[in-house]
A and B are shown apart, each in its own frame.
Chain A
Amino acid sequence: MSIATALGLNLLQLAFVAGLAPLFRGIAARWRENIQFKRGPSIWQPYRDLRKFFAKEYRYAESATWVSRFAPYAVCLSPLLVTLLIPVLTDFPLFGAFAGDMLAAGFILGIGSFFLTLAAVDGGVPYGAMGASRTRMVGFLAEPVLIVILFAVSFVANSTIPYVVQQQWLSPPTHFFSPAHVLILFAFFMLIIAETGRLPVDNPSGHFELAMIDESKVLDFSGAPYALLLWGSAMKTTVLCVIFTNVLFAPWGLASTPSAGAVCAAILIVFLKIAILLALLVIVETSVSKLRLFRIAEYLGAAFVVAVTAMIAAVLAS
């Protein structure tokens, strides 16, 4: 494989995540309404929103510092950096595959949400500070879950490099049904729900500022910076979905040769896999109600117990 092909594939992965992230958000929004027998917005609506916000004038609060100006870029760039570390379309390693492991991916995503939290306080809106403190609460409860999941993964696969872990579940197929793997899937699914601010942790379609967790942090933004924040959060969701499907849940169907046909097939298959995961998320979201704020600790405590059980199972199996 020449350097040009590798670079091209890397760019294609970035384009896949950046280009399709709004579409995935649109599909999820549409299905959420469809499942309640409503028609719902067009699946292209997020693209129209982005175009509208990029064209609009924007202002910052008088008290805002450089943090508010920098945060949209951090939110937008951190999922793209993670894209370089994970197998999006190919199951052979590309540039950056060994530059960082899954823990690094978690931390890079953490940089984005760190700056977003700071920016929420920076603007001086009282709701922003409230949302920021709540996000931190969910975040610091979710952190140990992620770390224990990674422990379990490294016990099973002897590595936390996403490309290596993905190969682990492929062969032999008994690995796929091992208790450690199934429990890791459970725990990671619960973590995705908490990290992307979905029900039962947070209600993304709520309009009541006092009850918001994620949405209240961006109340102070307008125009292009707001568009970047929207796009960044869509990309973060997409990246988490890609890690869940390609590395843990369904490691099949990635291109194993750099030929054009294999890569095109991989694009289609990965798209379908993420669509299936979105359907699952939508079903979960419509069948549960929002937890009271202090019950979130119990929810993430349950995720933690599942992760620890996975680790016990992994240690026992070895």
Chain B
Amino acid sequence: MPAHAYVPEINALLCGLFVLSAFGMVIVRQVAACLSLFIVQSALLAASAFLLGSDPFSWHLFAVGCVTVISKPILIPWVLRRLVPREVYAVREISQALDAPAALLLALGLALVGVSLGARLAHAEPLQAPQNVVVGFASLLVGALVLAVRREAVPQVLGILAMENAAFLAGIAIAPDFPLIAELAIAFDVPLLAFIVAVLTRAVYRRVGSTAVAELTMLREHTP
């Protein structure tokens, strides 16, 4: 059997693991575990880009893969680790708007909605990798849920970044010949976002002593 016969299957497998890591980000209890799941998800995205770029060969997708490898699994975690105080990662139970089973069921429902939407879109046009579009849509909605149910600054940022990952996963299947300038722009944009939020989180932590969003609803006087 020729090697490229395995490409769709392995790509589908990467997509399956991608959506699983999105589910994981909804329920894991530690900030550090949430960050490692984001790293895994980004690595899966890069692997999918390399795989789709190898057959038929596409420079654009290889460029996307390289940019992703450098920015998401390496640069962003480094920025977040470096700037956000260590104590934030030591939080063992992230406060959540919903308890874990309820959040999980909601995530499942959203994923099903995403799958049915994505499947319609994927079959409207013959695509090389329709799974990417379907999984991208599902993970996009699950990422939005991460943003909604988590009440801690860093996991919320990771939720935004997970949504961005999901949009990218769908994007490389819909438009493999994306202009390189757009890819580079996003590659600079996203670490910048992480940088700004990390600096903000650091400042908030210094002031308030916590980054749990629920505790930041009250106004308080400045005490030097």
Residues of chain A having any CB pair with chain B under 8 Å: 172-174, 177-180, 182-183, 297-298, 301-302, 304-306, 308-310, 312-313, 316-317
Q: Give me 9 A-to-B residue pairs in the complex whose CB atoms sit less than 8 angstroms apart, sorted by A's number.
A: A174-B9, A178-B12, A179-B13, A182-B13, A298-B100, A301-B104, A308-B108, A312-B112, A316-B134
Instruction: Report the bound CA distance from A263 to B20 in whole Å.
Output: 40
For the complex formed, measure the closest distance between the CB of B109 and the CB atoms of chain A, giving whole angstroms.
Answer: 10
CB contact under 8 A between A174 and B5, given known A179-B13, A305-B107 = yes
For the complex formed, measure the closest distance between the CB of A312 and the CB atoms of chain B, giving whole angstroms.
Answer: 6
A301 touches B100 (CB 8 A): yes
Binary contact track B115-138/A, C-beta < 8 Å → 1, others 0: 100010000000000110010001
Instruction: Report the bound CA distance from A306 to B21 in whole Å.
Output: 10
For the complex formed, measure the closest distance between the CB of A147 and the CB atoms of chain B, giving whole angstroms.
Answer: 15
For the complex formed, measure the closest distance between the CB of A271 and the CB atoms of chain B, giving whole angstroms.
Answer: 30
For the complex formed, measure the closest distance between the CB of A77 and the CB atoms of chain B, giving whole angstroms.
Answer: 36
For the complex formed, measure the closest distance between the CB of B8 and the CB atoms of chain A, giving whole angstroms.
Answer: 8
For the complex formed, measure the closest distance between the CB of B217 and the CB atoms of chain A, giving whole angstroms.
Answer: 27
B-chain residues with CB within 8 Å of residue A306 when the two chains form the complex: 20
Q: Contact check: which of A177, A180, A183, A310 meets B6 at CB < 8 Å?
A: A177
Q: Which of under 10, 10 to 19, 20 to 34, or 35 or more describes the interface residues of B? A: 20 to 34
Q: Contact check: which of A174, A298, A302, A313 meets B16 at CB < 8 Å?
A: A313
Q: Contact check: which of A308, A310, A316 meets B119 at CB < 8 Å?
A: A316
For the complex formed, measure the closest distance between the CB of B57 and the CB atoms of chain A, giving whole angstroms.
Answer: 21
CB contact under 8 A between A312 and B13, given known A298-B27, A305-B23 = no
Binary contact track B79-117/A, C-beta < 8 Å → 1, others 0: 000000000000000000000110011011001100100
For the complex formed, measure the closest distance between the CB of A305 and the CB atoms of chain B, giving whole angstroms.
Answer: 5
Question: Chain B: which residue is nearest A300 at the CB level?
Answer: B101
**Most chain A Cβ neighbours within 10 Å, of B16, B105, B107, B138:** B16
For the complex formed, measure the closest distance between the CB of B86 and the CB atoms of chain A, giving whole angstroms.
Answer: 23
For the complex formed, measure the closest distance between the CB of A194 and the CB atoms of chain B, giving whole angstroms.
Answer: 15
Instruction: Report the bound CA distance from A180 to B13 in whole Å.
Output: 8
Interface SS of A by simple majority:
helix
B153 within 8 A of A: no
A179 touches B101 (CB 8 A): no
For the complex formed, measure the closest distance between the CB of B71 and the CB atoms of chain A, giving whole angstroms.
Answer: 26
A-chain residues with CB within 8 Å of residue B119 when the two chains form the complex: 316
Instruction: Report the bound CA distance from A312 to B20 in whole Å.
Output: 12
Instruction: Report the bound CA distance from A182 to B12 in whole Å.
Output: 11
B111 touches A312 (CB 8 A): yes
B10 within 8 A of A: yes
A-chain residues with CB within 8 Å of residue B182 when the two chains form the complex: none
B185 within 8 A of A: no
**Most chain B Cβ neighbours within 10 Å, of A180, A302, A310, A316:** A316
**Most chain B Cβ neighbours within 10 Å, of A177, A312, A313:** A312
A179 touches B12 (CB 8 A): yes
B134 touches A301 (CB 8 A): no
For the complex formed, measure the closest distance between the CB of B96 and the CB atoms of chain A, giving whole angstroms.
Answer: 12
Instruction: Report the bound CA distance from A152 to B179 in whole Å.
Output: 39
B64 within 8 A of A: no
B39 within 8 A of A: no
A-chain residues with CB within 8 Å of residue B27 when the two chains form the complex: 298, 301-302
B-chain residues with CB within 8 Å of residue A297 when the two chains form the complex: 101
B16 touches A305 (CB 8 A): no
B19 within 8 A of A: yes
For the complex formed, measure the closest distance between the CB of B106 and the CB atoms of chain A, giving whole angstroms.
Answer: 11
Instruction: Report the bound CA distance from A53 to B20 in whole Å.
Output: 46
Instruction: Report the bound CA distance from A307 to B19 in whole Å.
Output: 12
With A298-B101, A305-B108 known, 19 other A-B pairs at CB within 8 A are A173-B1, A174-B6, A177-B9, A178-B12, A178-B13, A179-B13, A179-B16, A179-B131, A183-B16, A298-B100, A301-B101, A308-B108, A312-B138, A316-B12, A316-B115, A316-B119, A316-B130, A316-B134, A317-B12
CB contact under 8 A between A312 and B115, given known A177-B13, A298-B101 = yes
A309 touches B19 (CB 8 A): yes
Instruction: Report the bound CA distance from A310 to B140 in whole Å.
Output: 18
Instruction: Report the bound CA distance from A174 to B131 in whole Å.
Output: 16
Instruction: Report the bound CA distance from A3 to B25 in whole Å.
Output: 55
For the complex formed, measure the closest distance between the CB of A85 and the CB atoms of chain B, giving whole angstroms.
Answer: 29
For the complex formed, measure the closest distance between the CB of B194 and the CB atoms of chain A, giving whole angstroms.
Answer: 27
For the complex formed, measure the closest distance between the CB of B47 and the CB atoms of chain A, giving whole angstroms.
Answer: 14
Q: Contact check: which of A301, A305, A313 meets B12 at CB < 8 Å?
A: A313
B163 within 8 A of A: no
- Find residues 58-94 in chain B having any chain A CB closer than 8 Å to their own CB: none
Question: Chain B: which residue is nearest A176 at the CB level?
Answer: B9
B1 touches A179 (CB 8 A): no
